[in-house]
Amino acid sequence: MSSPSTVQLRVFRYKPGDPAPHYDTFAVPVTPRTTVLEALQAIRRDQDPGLMLRHSCHHASCGTCGLRVDGQEVLACVTPLADRGPVVTVEPLQNAPLLGDLVVDMGPFYAVFTQAGMPLVRSTEATAASRPAVGIERLTRFENCLECGLCVSACPVAATDPLYLGPAALAAAWRVVQEPRGQNPARALAWVDQEHGCWRCHLAFECSTVCPNDVQPGQAIAALRQRLVLGEPAPPGPAAAATRPAPAPTGPARRVGLRAWLDPRGRDVGYWAFVLHRLTGLALVAYLLLHLWVLRLLARGPAAWDEFIALARSPLFLALDGLLLFGVLFHGLNGVRVALVGLGAAARRQRGLFWAVLLLTLLLLAAGVAALVAAVH
Amino acid sequence: MTDPTSRAKTWWLLQALSGLALVLLLGVHFVAQHYVAQGGLRTYAQVVAYVRHPAVAALEAIFLVVVAVHAALGLRAVALDFGLPAARQRSLNAALAVGVVLVVGYGLWLLAQVRGGAG
């Protein structure tokens, strides 16, 4: 048995009535097998009995101890603390009402599951003679959801849109569509077919990345879209008018907003594809307007146009041209990726497709810049 | 409250399809302007001669409409990402539609001016 070393645990603190959250740092002894949850329990036992945290089973089965460790959503009970560096930051989940310290109110999260059609209820009891249905394996992935909320915390859309149904509920709805057990799947499809339903997702796939049980909500959302586009149409009706319950007025909502789009900690390539797609998209809208404004010089005659062409050959302008070309190439190629993945055609290959998009962007950019330079000289 | 008569799917598909069309149109736009037109479009006379070709004018007009629609749908998606409630979506849609009409109208006016050899 190795002797314990010490880690500084920087813990998010907030109690109702506090003017603002702050962080407290605790020195905790750790062995190679110490988990984040064990360290937090040691702090509460030995240093600060007022530390609020949630936990239950200690073996990644109940989904109660979801937290953010160094910016990434994890289950604290199965996350080792060693090898994370001398200072580790622990924060509560995002995009849920904060109750205190590391505890968030899961009520709104659970409530939206009910609207999705969960829990599934068996119409008959299993008997000793009954056998699992053929093809049951493909359904168990979505049945494995622990309802831990990590996916909602990691989702960049949930960070900014309080009306978004969220990845967990959408995955649950897909589970209902797959095997309805007496429920009407059209109701679930109608429920997700709304602005703040499956069409709000931008396929960052952080939900699938952080999911501790490989439920893959991102792929479920892509499958819902595929069904809505290619399958039977979902009838509109009262079922589509479901809403996400308003958060209880307990504390700061921890909905981090735009900052979530730019927080690099613990994020995967799908997230960066989303952020880059958004930024290049907004930049290209600005460029479109600028482009039309510059082209007005054509209506003023040759002198005004030639003056602009002279300016366009300056090194600064050429550098901006290169940046523009990058934006156009990435946005265009990633747009093709988003369309394919978003319709479920390549949802499981989204990571590889991102690298292909980036590689092709850089190759075409190099060719374009070379052509640009040659045209000027 | 979400809108039970939402056209969310239609908007998403329109954005995806207009995006795919733009990849093709932009490719043609670039290649035609920088490679097919000999030595690229550099002088005023070259630009005027280029856009006077009916096929080019049609291509540029279609490109303008598609890019304006795609951009408007993109801005709409960003607004909804920030939780724009259903009650305000109608106003947003109207504002973006006006924007598209203005951009396309201005672009087509400019195209006509250049084709006419204005200036």
Domain parsing of chain B, residue ranges: 8-115
Instruction: Give per-residue pLDDT as tens, A191-230.
Output: 999 888 999 999 999 999 999 998 899 999 999 999 998 8
The mean predicted confidence, pLDDT, of chain A is: 85
Kindly identify which residue of chain A lies nearest to residue B80, measuring between CA atoms.
A161
Q: Which residues pair with A74 in a beta bridge?
A: A67
Complex ipTM over 0.85: yes
The mean predicted confidence, pLDDT, of chain B is: 85
Residue B71: DSSP 8-state: H
B118 vs A288, A299, A336: nearest CB:
A299
Taking an 8 Å cut-off on Cβ atoms, the answer to whether B83 and A163 are in contact is yes
Q: What is the pLDDT of residue A330?
A: 96
Rounded to a whole number, what is the distance in Å from the CA of A52 to chain B's nearest CA? 30
Chain B residue numbers touching A226 (CB-CB < 8 A):
none
Residue A216: DSSP 8-state: -
Rounded to a whole number, what is the distance in Å from the CA of B22 to chain A's nearest CA? 8
The SS3 of residue A103 is: strand
For the record, the structure tokens of A227 come out as 């069904």
In the stretch 45-84 of chain B, residues with CB closer than 8 A to chain A read 45, 47-48, 67-68, 71, 74-75, 77-78, 80-83
Judge contact between A52 and A22, C-beta under 8 A. no
Residue A341's identity, in one-letter code, is V
Region A276-298: what's the mean pLDDT? 90
Burial class (CB in 10 A: 0-12, 13-18, 19+), B18: buried
Superfamily of A106-120+136-246 according to CATH: Alpha-helical ferredoxin (1.10.1060.10)
Helices (H), chain A: 36-46, 107-116, 137-143, 150-154, 156-160, 167-178, 185-192, 206-210, 217-230, 269-295, 302-312, 315-342, 350-376
Q: What is the pLDDT of residue B58?
A: 92
| C-alpha–C-alpha distance, residues A214 and A143, integer Å | 10
Q: What is the pLDDT of residue A125?
A: 64
B115 band by pLDDT with thresholds 50, 70 and 90: confident
Judge contact between A344 and A361, C-beta under 8 A. no
The closest alpha carbon to A112, from A168, A71, A44, belongs to: A168
Work out the angle between the directed axes of helices A185-192 and A107-116 (0-180°, nearest 10): 130
B11 shares contact with chain A (CB less than 8 Å) = yes
Q: What is the pLDDT of residue A124?
A: 64
Instruction: Give per-residue pLDDT as tens, A234-280.
Output: 444 434 334 444 444 445 555 667 777 777 787 888 888 999 999 99
Chain B residue numbers touching A162 (CB-CB < 8 A):
83
Chain A residue numbers touching B82 (CB-CB < 8 A):
160-161, 257
Q: How many other C-beta atoms lie within 10 A of the C-beta of residue A15? A: 12
Pairing mode, strands A87-91 and A5-13: parallel
Q: Does domain A269-376 have CATH number 1.10.3720.10?
A: no
The closest alpha carbon to A273, from A287, A284, A261, A265, belongs to: A261
| C-alpha–C-alpha distance, residues A270 and A77, integer Å | 26
Q: Determine the CATH number of domain B8-115.
A: 1.20.1300.10
Pairing mode, strands A98-100 and A103-104: antiparallel
A142 band by pLDDT with thresholds 50, 70 and 90: low
Kindly identify which residue of chain B lies nearest to residue A239, measuring between CA atoms.
B4
C-alpha distances out from residue A176 to A166, A272, B57, Å: 16, 31, 51
Superfamily of A5-103 according to CATH: Beta-grasp domain (3.10.20.30)
pTM for the structure as a whole? 0.81
Region A112-123: what's the mean pLDDT? 74
Q: How many other C-beta atoms lie within 10 A of the C-beta of residue A366? A: 11
The SS3 of residue A11 is: strand
Q: What is the pLDDT of residue A294?
A: 85
Q: What is the pLDDT of residue A120?
A: 65
Region A45-71: what's the mean pLDDT? 94
Q: Give the least confident one: A29-33, A126-130, B88-92.
A: A126-130
A2 band by pLDDT with thresholds 50, 70 and 90: low
Chain A residue numbers touching B88 (CB-CB < 8 A):
none
Instruction: Give per-residue pLDDT as tens, B36-84.
Output: 666 666 778 888 888 888 988 999 999 999 999 999 999 999 998 888 8
**Side-chain-facing half-sphere of A315: CA atoms under 13 Å:** 0
B41 shares contact with chain A (CB less than 8 Å) = no
Q: What is the pLDDT of residue A138?
A: 62
Kindly identify which residue of chain B lies nearest to residue A310, measuring between CA atoms.
B42
Chain A residue numbers touching B110 (CB-CB < 8 A):
292, 295-296, 298-299
Judge contact between A130 and A139, C-beta under 8 A. no
Taking an 8 Å cut-off on Cβ atoms, the answer to whether B6 and A195 are in contact is yes
C-alpha distances out from residue A183 to A95, A233, A345, B109, Å: 30, 17, 27, 56
Judge contact between A160 and B81, C-beta under 8 A. yes
Q: What is the pLDDT of residue B1?
A: 37
Instruction: Give per-residue pLDDT as tens, A118-134.
Output: 766 666 666 666 666 66
Taking an 8 Å cut-off on Cβ atoms, the answer to whether A161 and B82 are in contact is yes
Helices (H), A16-72: 36-46
For the record, the structure tokens of A160 come out as 């900014």
Residue A40's identity, in one-letter code, is L
Q: How many other C-beta atoms lie within 10 A of the C-beta of residue A121? A: 8
